[in-house]
Amino acid sequence: MATTPTQSLHATATPHLPQVTEPRNPGMPLDLNWVLNAQANTSAIERRAATIGTRRSVKKAHQAAWLLRAITCIDLTTLSGDDTARRVERLCAKARQPVAPALLDALGMGPITTGAVCVYHEMIAPALAALAGTNIPVAAVSTGFPAGLSPLALRIKEIEMSVAADAREIDIVISRRHVLSGDWQALYAEMQAFRAACGEAHVKAILATGELGSLRNVARASLVCMMAGADFIKTSTGKESVNATLPVSLVMIRAIRDYYDRTGIRVGYKPAGGISKAKDAVTYLSLIKEELGDRWLRPDLFRFGASSLLNDIERQLEHHVTGNYSAGYRHATS
């Protein structure tokens, strides 16, 4: 029997991030035949993507359950040049208590947290201090984020420094030129080096899909990064002109499904950039459920990269409980 949204939520919405039970992705030898045979029918993908949020609606208690689940999968993020320790501390306070206790009580829920806090390397220490006593991981962006064009040795050193500073997750950016030139061996070797530098820290490979030129390139880059050991594949840095989209997501999660079918290894997925509305979060969760199944609806395999999404979700939950919308400034995260 299929798990309902409410049942699925209550199974995993705990005060702290659930312990990861999936084995790390060990990677595999580069299979160029598999990579080069990967195609993407753009018109069919766009037609499928257009139906995701329209065929059915999620209402009332079920919608609230999906929104609470979405919160547990958010990488609450600040990646600005004017970040300060104080801003990060406020963000971490929101990660620890993303929803007002009175709202959770009204919904029959205990405490929940976001999936992680994502910051630049320089903000790892204040984030760790602010999250002390929780199991919320700190994720650090690395490898010359967002362009990824610094020398390879420096990018690897940046990973090593963030791991040494106790970041538990590393979001790396790939070299887009390897994809655009079809140099899959170079992309594979680069991703392997990043994976090795991460050690025990989980690695999320940011493809910057808005800069890869085609959905076919997205499919091939997804496969190569997974073959090289990526624990997650992620759409965007949030700094590109085009970030997460449903067609791109469909291509990436189908690559994840193919990889699982062949290897038995589950790789996570993280859409990032431009996801700021509660209804969009529900749409993405529905896509994951339909294409990958319930196991991927947990924070060890699915994350949103977002900064303002939590604000809108909390407003929608308050409306569900009280019938009224609160002002957006009441839910500021920084």
DSSP string over 204-238: EEE--GGGSSSHHHHHHHHHHHHHTT-SEEE---S
Active-site residue (options: 94, 204, 231, 234): 234
Active-site residue (options: 75, 171, 231, 300): 171
Q: Would you call 171 a catalytic residue per the annotation?
A: yes
**DSSP 8-state assignment for residue 200:** T
Q: Would you call 234 a catalytic residue per the annotation?
A: yes
Residues whose CB is less than 8 angstroms from the CB of residue 296 and which lie 6 or more positions away in sequence, other chains included = 266, 268, 269, 288, 289, 302
Let me know: does 291 contact 255? Beta carbons within 8 Å: no
Name residue 233's beta-bridge partners: 205, 269
Let me know: does 112 contact 127? Beta carbons within 8 Å: no
The residue type found at 77 is T
**DSSP 8-state assignment for residue 134:** S
* Residue 279 token pair: 């209804």
Query: What are the CA-CA distances from residue 234 to residues 30, 82, 225, 240 (Å)?
Result: 20, 24, 10, 13
Residues whose CB is less than 8 angstroms from the CB of residue 332 and which lie 6 or more positions away in sequence, other chains included = 311
Q: Give me the residue label for tokens 């469909």.
A: 250
Active-site residue (options: 270, 289, 300, 312): 270
Compute and round to an integer the Cα radius of gyration of the chain.
19
Catalytic machinery residues: 171, 234, 270
